[in-house]
Structure 1
Amino acid sequence: MSVFQIMSFIIIIISSVFLHTHSADNLYSAVMPQTVTALTGSCVQIPCTFTISHFKDKCNKAKSINGIWLKNKSKFADTDSLIVFNSSENIIRGFSDIEMTGDLSERNCTTVFYNLMKNHSDLYYFRLEMEPDVFKATFFLDQAKSTDSKKTVKITVIDSPQPLILKPTDLKEVMENTTVNLNCSAEAPCPKHPPTISWSNIPESAHITTQLQEKPDKTQSVFSHMTFKASYMDHRRNISCTATYPRNTPDDSTVKTTVMLRVLFPPKETRITINPSASVSVGTNVTLTCRSKASPSNDMNYTWYKRGQEMPIARGKKISFIVTNTVLYFCVVQNKYGSQSSAEIQLTVKVTDISQDMGPDRHSMPMIAGCVGGIVAVLTLSALGFCVRTRTKTHRGDNVGEKISSNQAQDETIDRNSTYANVLTVTNQGQQDL
């Protein structure tokens, strides 16, 4: 190898090291979410961190470190660029307030924009200046990765909150007595005024915890976790999660989501209903219906039994028959998860009331009996009177004469007339009452 070639090789190596050192000395990048969604009348926090090569050395040289936010354009020197925030000059343009909550000396550029309106939706670029002339750059490119990777943030302002995330979204196969976990999360673009989460129509055994959580992109959300033990009484229960967002508007903004709880369980609350009633007359047609709660309910089997008989008497939800005697019945319901027997019911045969079969004339029976009794009494008294008078006439003898006989005849005539009069009166009275 000639001396010229050796010298050329050495120059190339030195140049390569110099270029590498120079480029390494100017490496910088920022990490922030690609987009954040804010609610009108509220605030939005942009989590932001940055990396600069030899940052500590630069901090020792710099007298001040300032953060700047530009809207729409990344070129700081352009005359039409809009600087909405500059910490060095305490500049805030187009916003009611902007606060840089991060510590720039710790490579934290987190910033909060307050009271956002729809016209604030745009691209925003962060710029760092370390004076005097130590470091100045706008973090619109990720120099450490690719020149095509833009590191800026897009703020989107909306009037209504984003939908809640409720997981799991469908509870199709929750077995009875198993533990259920429900998670509801709501975006919290303004962590200083986060939304509140509330649950409605929850099971009695529910336990709820709620906290503010940080997501991988450093934005935050409110996370609420509910756990409970599934009961058959919770089947088809609609459980709702609601997030309420405070903001500088007349009303708070709310968003709600609901999930239906489906519980699988064996038959419960099995019972028998009777039509027309449990107390019937012989020959009455009766229908018994077996009722029960179960899930699933489309594969339920019904079996009927009489007390004292091991073999079933019928199958199906309803049975109908004519009552002949007093009997005890019960039914058994079964699905794929189990079975349950109902309580026994007794069909009682009523004794027929004869007086009821006599119809409306049964009320006249006491009156008829009274009339007959009255007639018998009158006839008895008349007979006794006649006997007494006959005996008196015998004791007086034949000397009484024609006068006495005539009087006796008159008396007997009067007595007979009197008797007939009494019988007619009672009879008439009886006829009137009838």
Structure 2
Amino acid sequence: MVLWIDLSLLLSPMSSSPQTLMAGIQITSFIFISSVLIHTCSADGDVSAVMPLTVTALTGSCVQIPCTFTISSFEDKRNKAKSIYGIWLKKKSQFADKDSFIAFNSSENIIRGFSDIQITGNLSERNCTTVFYNIMMNHSDLYFFRLEMEPSVFKATFNPNTGDEIKTVKITVKDSPQPPELKHTGLKEVMENTTVNLSCSAEAPCPEQPPTISWSYIPNSASITTQLQEKPDKTLSVFSNMTFKASYMDHKKNISCIATYPRKSSNDSTVETTVIMLRVLFSPKETHIIINPSASVSVGTNVTLTCKSKGSPSKEMNYTWYKHGQKMAIAWEKKISFIVYHNDTRSYFCIAQNKHGNQSAEIHLTVEEESGFSQRVIYGCTGGLLAFVLLSAVLFYCLRTKTSSQAHVIGRDQATDKNGDMVAIYANSSSAISKKSEKKETDDLHYGEIDFSKLQTGDMTREHSNNDPQTEYAEIQVTGRNNKNQKR
């Protein structure tokens, strides 16, 4: 409390006695000395700390607050002090306030509201860097650093509230990490073989568990370097740089960088940047010709030739067709069609071109004559006919063999029956002749003729029995040769 005294009352004429004047001089001297002491104390208490205004933490991870402080005549105070302690206050900077929340006090090893807090910096070297572990959502708030040098050498809270301006650190806790930042130079359009540099950075609030950065697409010629770097506000980030020479194979490829944050309390968190599409300018590549229906066709076939090529910009591609042996172009389009004639057996060329260069392709067309086709048809028909005849002969032979076997069996049975009938006829005829000769033993010898051609089936009578054989009857006519002999 400052007491102001009006010195004009002391110097008024009514009180101009020597005693009164002496008293006024003494009071004036006291006020002057007091003002000097107050200024000196204020200068001695001039302290400051450097730390980021805000840091973003990820739930389940840790957060590091980079911190350095400045105290006038620090070396003298450090030499006088037997111990140096660090204290972190939450929400309020008043250490003695009953509502103040002491989150950490290294002098008494007090940790409140956190699983662990460690001052990783060396306080003797004015480094107050601190790590808060296992950050949770309720840890989002303002934090103030206080330094105490014992015994009673120095005690102060750094960067307290000064009016509406807050010069202390604010911890903001989130469930998901910040997306990484992807930087590039001149990727709108790059010429082939041009060097491209891409840089991806991801914040590393917890240096003990820094994020890992990966790339969605890596060109064949790419070189990648990754390192943990300090930013101007003393916070840390992981930087990944990819350098490569642009190739036509990289054209229209999407590139993004992915940051993965490890966490102890839950699964890892992965975030990805906005995709960048590479646009590479290059001359025609992989030029080739597609022929339909095939490279070997017959006369009269409708053939289509299509020229395929990769080039950028693709809208500026031009195609020119040439026939082997001719200097004049035959077409200026991507696809041509024509009917094949006898003299079309030759090579065709296609030249693909844009403003960056050109490339050609060739294909040979072979035309087959109609005679060759007719011969193939004749040979095919002849072979088919021969096969049919051979198959028919085999079938006919099999059928005939089967029929002959059946006829042989039937003929054998009929022959057996007929032989039996003939034997019976001869037997009966012999029996009749013998009986007649026995009756006329004294008569002269006569010759007779037997005419079997006059035998009729209708005149024959057959009797069948199980034991008796068949009997045949015949008429016998005897000529009169005796009468002729008698006349002689």
TM over 0.5: yes
> Per the alignment, do residues 345 and 13 of structure 1 end up closer, same or farther by CA in structure 2, a change over 3 Å counting?
farther
Q: What letter matches 1:254 in structure 2?
A: T
Alignment correspondent of 2:283: 266
For 1:290, the equivalent position in structure 2 comes to: 307
- For 2:252, which of 236, 239, 244 is the aligned residue? 236
Q: Which residue of 1 aligns with 2:134?
A: 115
Q: Which residue of 2 aligns with 1:164?
A: 180
Distance (whole Å) between structure 1 residues aligned to residue 281 and residue 97 of structure 2:
67
Structure 1 residue corresponding to 2:363, chosen from 345, 353, 362 = 345
Q: TM-score of the superposition, structure 2-length normalised?
A: 0.67
Q: Which amino acid aligns with 2:323?
A: K
Q: Structure 2: which amino acid aligns with 1:236?
A: K
> Which structure 2 residues correspond to residues 273-284 of structure 1 after superposition, within 5 A?
273-284=290-301
8 Å Cα contact 1:179/1:229 also seen in 2 = yes
Question: What's the CA shift for 1:13?
Answer: 11
Per-residue CA shift, 1:209-264, capped at 9, x if unaligned? 11110000000011111112221112122334222222212422222234332221
- Uncovered stretches (5+) of structure 1, i.e. residues with no partner: 1-6, 370-434
Question: Which residue among 315, 332, 349 is the counterpart of 1:330?
Answer: 349
What does residue range 341-420 of structure 1 map to in structure 2 within 5 Å?
341-342=360-361, 344-352=362-370, 353-355=373-375
Distance verdict in 2 for CA 1:121–1:366, change over 3 Å: closer
Asked if the contact 2:58/2:135 (under 8 Å) is kept, the reply is: yes
Distance 1:96 1:170, change over 3 A: farther
SS at match of 1:185: strand
Alpha carbons 1:169, 1:259 under 8 Å: kept: no
Work out which of the residue numbers 54, 77, 81 in structure 2 matches 1:35. Answer: 54
Please give the per-residue CA displacement for 1:289-331, whole angstroms capped at 9, x wherever unaligned.
Answer: 1110111111111111112222211101111122222132111
Higher Cα radius of gyration: 2
Question: One-letter code of the match for 1:266?
Answer: S
Q: Which runs of 5+ in 2 are unaligned?
A: 1-24, 390-488
- Greater Cα offset, 315-324 or 92-101: 315-324
Contact 1:97 1:114 in 2 (8 A): yes
Matched, 1:246 2:262: yes
Q: Which residue of 1 aligns with 2:462?
A: none
**Pairing partner for 2:226 from 210, 228, 235:** 210
Asked if 2 retains the 8 angstrom alpha-carbon contact of 1:170 and 1:259, the reply is: no
Of 287, 309, 332, the match for 1:315 = 332
TM-aligned CA deviation for residue 356 of structure 1: 5.4
Query: What residue is the counterpart of 1:392 in the other structure?
Result: none
Structure 2 distance, partners of 1:136, 1:147, is 22
Query: What's the counterpart of residue 68 of structure 1?
Result: 87
Counterparts of 2:64 and 2:384, CA distance in 1 = 99
Counterpart among 75, 82, 89 of residue 56 in structure 1: 75
Q: How does 1:62-141 map to 2 (within 5 A)?
A: 62-141=81-160
1:17-63 CA distance string (max 9 Å, x none): 87765543222111101111111111000000111122122223333
Counterparts of 2:300 and 2:311, CA distance in 1: 35
Instruction: Tell me the SS of whatever aligns to 1:354.
Output: helix
CA contact (8 A) 1:141 1:148 kept: no
Give the letter for the 1:138 counterpart: T
Post-superposition Cα deviations, 1:99-152, rounded to whole Å, max 9, x if no partner, equal: 00111111111000001111111111111122333322222349xxx8664221
Aligned twin of 1:224: 240
Partner secondary structure for residue 298 of structure 1: helix
> Of residues 143, 152, 156 in structure 1, which corresponds to 2:168?
152
Output the amino acid matched with 2:172: T
* Structure showing the higher strand proportion among its residues: 1
CA distances 1:256-298 after superposition (whole Å, capped 9, x unpaired): 2343322211100111111121122222221111110111111
Q: 1:337 deviation in Å?
A: 1.3
| Equivalent position SS for 1:119 | helix
State the aligned residue count.
Answer: 358
Whether the 8 Å contact between 2:117 and 2:132 is mirrored in structure 1 is yes
**Contact between 2:60 and 2:266, CA under 8 Å: does it hold in 1?**
no
Partner of 1:172, secondary structure, is: coil
* Larger CA deviation: 356-365 vs 308-317: 356-365
Structure 1's 147 and 25: CA in aligned 2 closer, same or farther, altered over 3 A?
farther
Q: CA deviation at 1:366?
A: 6.9
What secondary structure does 1:157 align onto? strand
Report the secondary structure of 1:314's partner residue. Answer: coil
**Aligned Cα root-mean-square deviation (Å):** 3.0
Alignment CA distance shift 1:350-1:91 (3 Å): same
Q: Distance in 1 between matches of 2:232 and 2:385?
A: 99
Of 44, 51, 54, the residue aligned with 1:25 is: 44
Contact 1:141–1:149, Cα closer than 8 Å, also in 2: no
SS of equivalent residue, structure 1 residue 315: coil
Which stretch of the first structure deviates more once superposed, 15-24 or 35-44? 15-24
